[in-house]
Structure 1
Amino acid sequence: MKMTIKRSILVAAVALGFAAPAFAAGPAIEYQAQNWSFNGPFGTFDRGELQRGYQVYKEVCAACHSMKYVAFRNLRDIGFTEAEVKALAATFQVVDGPDDSGEMFERPALPSDKFPSPFPNEKAARSANGGAYPVDLSLVAKARVGGPDYLYALLTGYKEPPADFTVGEGLHYNEAFPGHQIAMPQPLNADQVTYADGKPATVEQMARDVSAFLMWAAEPKLEDRKRMGLKVMIFLIIMTGLFFAAKKRIWRDVH
């Protein structure tokens, strides 16, 4: 029994020893906290911000990045009407089938369809992006340390490299990316989109909007969760008061 325990400890120690360099690959980067509307226990999503963020995703990000866990009908949750969702979905083509002859075919997307991938498979995606595989954006805001703060910092972090910094071939300098070298070229440029609400399309504004949109995509029930949490806290406060009053009543004659 003792030998088994010692062997388990040894295996764990060896595993941690090999894993340590992965965590020590570079200094941790602190991302400046942004003042998001959905921060805090009572925070909610800004629908206008989310709609602008969807526009940035569609016109810029969707050329390379998929969002395979989001359906067009989910866009109703960010303020689009049923008719608008149908129109937005119809601007995309999805593969369907087989038809009566056994062939696959393309058709305009329906609200029930998920956002289509810009590439048919991973190899095609890597071939079109110099060997890099564009990450799916459905859950990226929750999968990355820093969440939307990281996404905003990344999208606004493309700078000229310092004089003593050598950027590898096919890579780009980004002060927010670990190691400061990223395969993705700068995706956002001023006035790259034209917002329907007239908002100036600065790099910072587009980065903020699409980061908020990706946060919603990763946690669409955030507002429901916060509302439920508030109800639970109110319930617990009331029950605590009732239990305290009951305790006082039951033990009032005991001295």
Structure 2
Amino acid sequence: MVRIIGFFVGLGFIGVLLISLFTNGLDYFRNPPEPTAAHEFHKHPRDAELPSAGMTGKFDQAQLQRGFQVYKEVCSACHSLKFVSFYQLHDLGYSEAEVKAIANQWATEVPSVNPDTGEPATRKALVSDRFPSPYANETAARAANNNALPPDLSLITEAREDGSNYVYSLLTGYTDQPAELLKKFPDAKTPTGLYYNPYFANLNIAMPPPLISDGQITYADGTKSTKEQNAKDIAAFLTWTAEPTLDRRKSAGWVVLLFLAIATTLAYLSYRNIWANAKRQVSPRGPLDPENRGRMDAAKADQGVAG
């Protein structure tokens, strides 16, 4: 009885779901959602063509150093790297002395406590420290940025869809609002204090264009500095901050694939070698065996059994 009741309860539940699905689907087609400016004018990120992209891609150490320079001179004034430590810069090719100098000369000092008075203080960064935030707290960050909170950039390429290309496209995507957008959506004019960027989710971003012109940064390695190059370099650097072990992970992946290919081949050859002869020795047994079938027919004939 309980099973019968349970069956009908489940059947009723499925029926309600099907009715809800049908009515909601019918309502969607009868009253489709109104188009929005963000839906029609938002663009997918362009391909930055970074050396680290793809299954065989690897970081370009020189590009990572240029990207760090862009972060240091442009982005660090507003954005933190709270999950990255100064000592990790060794992986970019900096010597121990260079890393110490970078930490010691960093514009923002590390929050500390005065040992003599116990009062809050700051000190020069050490190699073991993480990159200090440019703001004391979230309130200070919002107060300095028209109530907008600059995101931490440590994992930004993992936190955004198609992250590396998103960073590159966003930094190079600032432009004036197209007349077509304002003609179709008059109420979608970019508010004062915001900036139009078709690669941002709602088209209007609080961050002013950080890369203003070519030559804004003078690269230490002599590479020609353009807005496009700056955007690619910082995108590569932020890809590294999010996945510093990317090269090792890809190398390990190829080794695992090679191992699996060899192991699969050996397993197949072992299977053929062990079971090939055994299969040849197997012969049919039972009533369908031709020899047994003949004996059965003869026995039935002797006993006068039909069939």
Bigger radius of gyration: 2
Instruction: Provide the residue aligned with 2:205 in structure 1.
Output: 182
Instruction: Provide the residue aligned with 2:167 in structure 1.
Output: 151
Following superposition, the deviation at residue 98 of structure 1 comes to: 4.8
Deviations 1:5-39 (A, max 9, x none): 949x97xx89xxxxxx9xx9635632222321112
Kindly indicate whether residue 39 of structure 2 is the aligned counterpart of residue 26 of structure 1: yes
Is the deviation greater in 30-39 or in 238-247?
Answer: 30-39
Deviations 1:151-189 (A, max 9, x none): 110000011222353211111111211232111111002
Following superposition, the deviation at residue 100 of structure 1 comes to: 3.5
Deviations 1:118-175 (A, max 9, x none): 0001011001000100010000011101211111100000112223532111111112
Kindly indicate whether residue 268 of structure 2 is the aligned counterpart of residue 244 of structure 1: yes
Is the deviation greater in 142-151 or in 174-183?
Answer: 174-183
Instruction: Provide the residue aligned with 2:247 in structure 1.
Output: 223
CA distance in 2: counterparts of 1:212 and 1:232, whole angstroms: 26
Q: Which amino acid aligns with 1:185?
A: P
SS class of match (1:111) = coil
Aligned partner of 2:179 among 163, 182, 186: 163
Instruction: Provide the residue aligned with 2:156 in structure 1.
Output: 140
Q: Aligned runs of 1:93-172 on 2, under 5 Å?
A: 93-164=109-180, 165=182, 166-172=189-195
CA distance in 2: counterparts of 1:6 and 1:72, whole angstroms: 58
CA distance in 2: counterparts of 1:198 and 1:175, whole angstroms: 32
Q: Which amino acid aligns with 1:33?
A: D
CA distance in 2: counterparts of 1:251 and 1:214, whole angstroms: 54
Deviations 1:189-212 (A, max 9, x none): 222211011112211110000000
CA distance in 2: counterparts of 1:104 and 1:72, whole angstroms: 23
Instruction: Provide the residue aligned with 2:229 in structure 1.
Output: 205
Higher helix share: 2
Whether the 8 Å CA contact 1:64–1:118 is kept in 2: the answer is yes
Whether the 8 Å CA contact 1:52–1:195 is kept in 2: the answer is yes
The total of aligned residue pairs comes to: 245
Unaligned runs of 5+ in 2: 1-5, 22-32, 183-188, 281-307
Q: Aligned runs of 1:24-63 on 2, under 5 Å?
A: 26-27=39-40, 29-63=43-77
Q: Report the TM-score, using the length of structure 2 for normalisation.
A: 0.74
Percent identity over the alignment is 47
Aligned partner of 1:84 among 93, 98, 120: 98
Deviations 1:49-98 (A, max 9, x none): 00000010011000000110000011111111111111111112111235
Provide the aligned C-alpha RMSD in A: 2.4
SS class of match (1:96) = strand
- Using a 3 Å threshold, how does the CA distance of structure 1 residues 6 and 79 change in structure 2: closer, same or farther? farther
Deviations 1:230-254 (A, max 9, x none): 1101111111111111101111212
CA distance in 1: counterparts of 2:178 and 2:273, whole angstroms: 73
Is the deviation greater in 32-41 or in 117-126?
Answer: 32-41
Unaligned runs of 5+ in 1: 15-20
